[in-house]
Every structure is written in structure tokens, then in C-alpha cells.
Amino acid sequence: MRLSIPVSGFVAAIVGFGGTLALVIAAAQAVGANQAQTASAVTALCLAMALETAVLSWRFRMPIVTAWSTPGAALIAASTGFSVNEAVGAFLLTALLLIATGLFKPLTRLIARIPASIASAMLAGIVVGLVTRAFSAIPTDPVLILGLIAVFFLVRLWNPAMSVLAILVGGSLLAFFTGRVGVLPTPELSTLTLITPAFSWQAAIGISLPLYLVTMASQNLSGVAVLRAAGYEPPAGPAIAATGLMSLLTAPFGALTTCLAAISAAICTGADVHPDPAERWKTGLFYALSYLVFAIFGASLVALFAVLPTSFIALVAGLALLASLANALTIAMREEGHRTAAITAFAVTASGLVLGGIGAAFWGLLAGLVVHGLETWKTSRNI
């Protein structure tokens, strides 16, 4: 076996985990999760991804790797007014929607019919606040934050995938050696904490529906596209249903939705992994092994994040979403005829509007679709 196979699997896992762990922790904190519940969520997510990736890659003999929903984590991190119990209830509903989507192809086609410009504009509206928060953290610790921003953009010139990981590791070490970190936590093995779900229509519309839509549009469909671009014919339905089933099982432990990976999948599917595409599925096994290790030590990692400066956590979470924001805005503005609808969706989502207990992501998507519908009607009538 080529050394490039395990190396690619390990690198993909490290980039995916280290690059967005801060965002998952921020999402848990936004719904009021305590440290034990946050650690449980990270552990359950890692276990889910390890099992999903190992089974799907082995069963279909292609590198089908999964990830937590990064845009979903951004959505939750930007939300307000929901408890951790309501979030768990919303995760369960989202998981059921994903299972249904995987089992019934018409649902997949229905989601695919939502204009990419509007879905991307909603995603951009979700993440823009987190990205700007990274730069607004500069006054709290200008030496640390400005230095890390410079490192991020310098590393990005040569290796964009490693830029977030570089500031995560480098910033943690710098914070420690300069006395910005409190007492380091005692290493401990992870445990799972059961969280009783609570169901409300506000959480169903404000979290479940947007979480489902951004996961499908920004992750699952993209993950399928990455595999197809590499020459595979992925079983989209069974794969999405599998992630929905695992999300259903892990949601009671605080885990948000898992989904097909896109960036991590790109690392595992290229020709540099192995010249024979039939051999690349083995990267999934090493990817899964990496996440099993992360699951074992998830509690210690969350405890470590808890003693790091909050401005540093905001910086890592924001910069991790910079590329996602750029890509979402590019897609949103690509089609001239959709720009008004897209910018409406973006503006409403970014406003943080809350009506009837329902968050801005839903209202942004709805506003964009209404404007798009009106413009389509006008064009069809030649007005």
C-alpha cells in the first residue's frame, strides 16, 4: 500500500477537525451547552464520522468521507434564543429530513431546484457575522490577533488548506507561552452526556429547516459533485440516508448534523493519493481512524479551548469561514437575473432578524424565494 493513502486520510481529517472545531464549540456555546455537553457533542460527532466513513468507503469501494455540517455549525453559532434542549430536538428533526431525502429521490430533486444563488446568499448571510467578528476581535489583543491574521494569509499563499490549522496550533502555543492561557486542564478521556430533547415550532423552523437546507445545498450536493469530478458514481441516496441515520443516533448527545464532506473529500480523491481510483477508498479507513482518536480525546480538546482567549477562538472560527463566505458570495452574484433576490436573502439573513421566535436564516431564504418568484412571474408575463 502506498504511503500516500494513510497520509491523505490523516491530513484530510486533521484539516477538517482542526480547521472548524472552534466553530462547533461556538455553536454549542450559542445554545447554552455547558463544557460536558460540548465535549459530548464533539465526541459524538467524531464517532459518527468515523463509523460513517469506514462503512460507506468499505461498502462502496470509494473514498466517501463525511464531516460535520460546517455551515450548519455557523447557523447555530449565529442563532439566539434557543436552549441546548431545543437544539437537540431540532437536530433530531433535521436527521429525519435527511433520512427521508436519502430514501425518496424526489426530495433531493426538490432541494436541487432551490436556486443556488439564493441558497448561497443565505449561507453568506449566516457566516458574514462570524467572519467580521474575527476582525472586530483585534482591539482586545492586537499583538496576538494581528500576528495570527498575518500568519493566516501568508500560509494561505502556499497552502490554503493548512492556513487555519497553522493559526490554531501556532496561536495556541503562542497564547500559552505568553501567559494568555489559564491553568491547563488535566487530560481526560471523553464521555457522552445524554441531553433531553425539547421540541418547539420556533426551533423547527428557525434551526431544523435552515440546517437541513444548508447541509443539503452546501455540503451533501457538493460532496457528491466532488466524487463525481474524481470519476466516481457515488450512491447519493444511501450515503445521505446513512448520515441522517447516524445524526439521529448521535443528536441526543448534543451532536449536530453530519453530512458528506467536500473539502476533505477532495484531499482523499485526487490522483496524488493513488494512480488507481479503485485503491483510493482505503483513505476512508485512515480518515475514520483519525476521527476515532479525536473522539477519545475530545473532552480534553474542548477543555483546552475553554481556557484559550475568547478573542482567539473568535478569530479561528471567523477565518475558517472566510473561504466559504467568498465562495457563497461568488455563487450568489454569478447570475445577473438572480442578484436582487440573492442580495435580499443575504441582507435579511445577515440582519439577525427574529420574528415570532424564528431566526433570520429562514426569513432570509423566504424573502429571497419570494423576490425570485416575483421576478420569474414578471419575466413570464413579459412585463
Max avg pLDDT among 14-28, 198-212, 242-256, 292-306: 242-256
**Pairing mode, strands 258-260 and 66-68:** antiparallel
Say whether pLDDT at 383 is over 70: no
Say whether pLDDT at 70 is over 90: no
The identity of residue 345, as a single letter, is A
CA angle (295 as vertex; 291, 300 as ends), nearest 5: 125
CB-based contact 220:66 (threshold 8 Å): no
CA–CA distance, 94 with 251 (Å, rounded to integer) = 10
**Residue 284 burial by Cβ neighbours in a 10 Å radius (0-12, 13-18, 19+):** buried
Q: Establish how many alpha carbons lie within 13 A of residue 362's alpha carbon, considering only the half-sphere containing its beta carbon.
A: 19
Max avg pLDDT among 193-207, 253-267, 349-363: 193-207
pLDDT tens string 313-368 = 888 888 877 877 888 888 889 888 889 999 999 999 898 887 776 778 888 888 99
Its pTM stands at 0.81
